[in-house]
Amino acid sequence: MVRKKLNKKNNRKAKIIIDETTYEFPIYNSTEGEAVIDISKLHAEANIFTYDPGFTSTASCESKITYIDGDKGILRYRGYDIEELAKKSDFIEVVNLLIYGDLPNKEQLTKYKRLITRHTLLHEQIINFFQGFRRDAHPMAMMVGVMGALSSFYQDTLNINDSHQRQEATRRIIAKSATIGAMAYKYSLGQAFVSPRNNLSFSENFLYMCFSNTAENYKVSPVLAKAMDTILILHADHEQNASTSTVRLAGSSGANPFACIAAGVSSLWGPAHGGANQAALEMLEEIGSSKNIKKYIAKAKNKKDPFKLMGFGHRVYKNYDPRAKILKSICLKVLKHVGVKNDPILKLAMDLEKIALNDKYFKEKRLYPNVDFYSGIILRAIGFPPEMFTVIFAIARTAGWTAQWTEMIEDPIQKIGRPRQLYTGKRVIKYGVGRSSKNTR
Ligand code: CMC
């Protein structure tokens, strides 16, 4: 069905010659960016698979949500440039855009904000659920666990074939992710949970739930709330990255939305993905001073050393990540607002960026700062510890995950995701032959 929707006028074909036989496959144009070769019939026709570790040359789905031009450093949600959205929209408007395909009008937005706000509270029993975690648990461990547990609390929105339930589940996931994130933070501090305040915006409310306590009411600063909101917008979606692909793959089996988003949170946690914001700040703290930069650049270039410059490099961007550019400018505003005149970590980050961007290795490999390079400095200035950085990324990304999950469920050619493999293990052997004699297991 999707083949009909894709560019019919395109007569390009790809030919694959295997041994003496030629196989032809259709090429579909995208509206922007690379075309794709449809090799879905390859195995049926030629009894062979393609091999693409890390999916560097594979489009796993058709999508209308987010467009990235990695060479030009362009990011657009539903056709809108990220810079314009960061300036003119707020997070919930961007959520609505990602999910429904176009910017809402005033009335639609007001209604949507009300619907999201109605879902910020969590079932009281979830508080008991939290008590089961160790106090020193990483807040992402709590995010993964509690997100998955929502499927046991909100059983009236588990039917993925019911559009109303899908939309309600989406709103619950987005609204409750901020409450869960704030509760994880409070739990790790040993403080009482702070209930959401529905007269506040999404970002204001998140800051309020994190920084208010029973002894002192937190007055949300508009500058910090705007910075928080921009961070959420910039992290809201990024096409078929590892966590989004995880959500799609989990969802392709028909799993419920809360379980799928929990799978996405797990994938995001890794330091090569969302966990890089925590890792980047920790790396800057480890480097400590500009005089040590050269040593760490040398480590990053040494293939025998596992060290990488965190917050640098990207699978798609071979130019400056547009999100990093926006964050760098917010960084200065936030530091000024909180009264930090000369932040040594910001200075170190800027020095490191300059040296790396002029280094042959980084130039040749086209490694630029990504979204995680400056976000940690802003979040730290707002008052968050590094363990919370990836949680904030996850809260923002619930927008993209739910939009992509919805698009997948509504795609008529959606199938269970089931990649194949290049098997290089043993051929059949008789039971017991070759039993291990070593004691190393
Ligand atoms: N420091 C040093 N070398 C690097 C770095 C880095 N940060 N990133 C890539 N390289 C090298 C890499 O070793 C490889 O070298 P070679 O060609 O000699 O084997 C070359 O550059 C190409 O990199 P790659 O590993 O093939 O690229 P990839 O697309 O597989 O990985 C990445 C992309 C983001 C995982 C990687 O750049 C990285 O690990 N960066 C640091 C972690 C990070 O900042 N992650 C956040 C990504 S943006 C937000 C998000 O997605 O969540």
Which pLDDT score, from 0 to 100, does residue 1 have? 42
Beta strand segments in 34-155, E: 36-37, 66-69, 74-77, 80-81
Q: Which of 302, 361, 367 to mutate to test the pocket of ligand 1 (most atoms within 8 A of CB)?
A: 367
H/E stretch holding 171 reads: helix 163-189
Residue nearest to atom 29 of ligand 1 (CA): 315
Q: Which DSSP string do the residues of 348-368 spell out, in sequence order?
A: HHHHHHHHHHTSHHHHHTT--
Nearest-angstrom CA–CA distance, 135 and 64: 42
Buried b (16+ CB within 10 A) or exposed e, 22-56: eeebbebeeeeeeebbebeebeeeeeeeeeeeeee
Looking at ligand 1, which atom is closest to the CA of residue 373?
44
8-state DSSP, 37: E
Confirm if 415 and 62 have CB atoms less than 8 A apart.
Answer: no
Residue 372: CB within 6 Å of ligand 1? Answer: yes
Which pLDDT score, from 0 to 100, does residue 341 have? 83
**Owner of token pair 């209604």:** 111
Cα 357 to ligand 1 centroid, rounded to whole Å: 15
Looking at ligand 1, which atom is closest to the CA of residue 313?
37
Which pLDDT score, from 0 to 100, does residue 6 have? 57
Poorest-pLDDT segment among 141-155, 263-277, 280-294, 426-440: 426-440
Cα 315 to ligand 1 centroid, rounded to whole Å: 7
Using only the alpha carbons of the chain, give its radius of gyration.
24
pLDDT tens sequence across 284-326:
999 999 999 999 999 999 999 999 999 999 999 999 999 999 9
**Owner of token pair 């002192």:** 216
Return left, alpha or beta for 75; rule: phi > 0 is left, psi -120 to 50 is alpha, else beta.
Answer: beta
CA count, 13 A, side-chain hemisphere, 211:
17
Tell me which residues are annotated as active site. Answer: 314, 372
Residue 239: CB within 6 Å of ligand 1? Answer: no
Confirm if 57 and 240 have CB atoms less than 8 A apart.
Answer: no
Phi, psi (5° rounding) for residue 384?
-85, 145
CA count, 13 A, side-chain hemisphere, 25:
18
Cα 367 to ligand 1 centroid, rounded to whole Å: 8
Taking the whole predicted model, whether its pTM rises above 0.85 is answered as: yes
Poorest-pLDDT segment among 3-12, 90-99, 182-191, 399-408: 3-12
pLDDT tens sequence across 362-398:
999 999 999 999 999 999 999 999 999 999 999 999 9
Strands 13-18 and 21-28 come out as: antiparallel
Q: Answer positive or negative: Cα dihedral of 205, 210, 212, 214.
A: positive
Q: Is the pLDDT of residue 203 over 70?
A: yes
8-state DSSP, 221: P
Which pLDDT score, from 0 to 100, does residue 7 have? 53
Which residue, among 119, 90, 120, has the nearest Cα to 103 in the 3D structure? 90
Q: Which of 355, 361, 366, 370 to mutate to test the pocket of ligand 1 (most atoms within 8 A of CB)?
A: 370
Nearest-angstrom CA–CA distance, 180 and 122: 8
* Residue 30: strand, helix, or coil: coil
Cα 312 to ligand 1 centroid, rounded to whole Å: 7
pLDDT tens sequence across 79-104:
999 999 999 999 999 999 999 999 99
Q: Is the pLDDT of residue 8 over 50?
A: no
CB atoms within 10 A of CB 255: 18
Which residue, among 425, 419, 424, 427, has the nearest Cα to 53 in the 3D structure? 419
Nearest-angstrom CA–CA distance, 44 and 32: 30
Q: What are the CB-based long-range contacts (under 8 Å, 24+) for 200-208? A: 201/90, 201/92, 201/225, 201/229, 202/90, 202/91, 202/92, 202/116, 202/178, 202/229, 202/232, 203/90, 203/91, 203/228, 203/229, 203/232, 205/120, 205/178, 206/178, 206/181, 206/182, 206/395, 207/382
Residue 226: CB within 6 Å of ligand 1? Answer: no
Residue 273: CB within 6 Å of ligand 1? Answer: yes
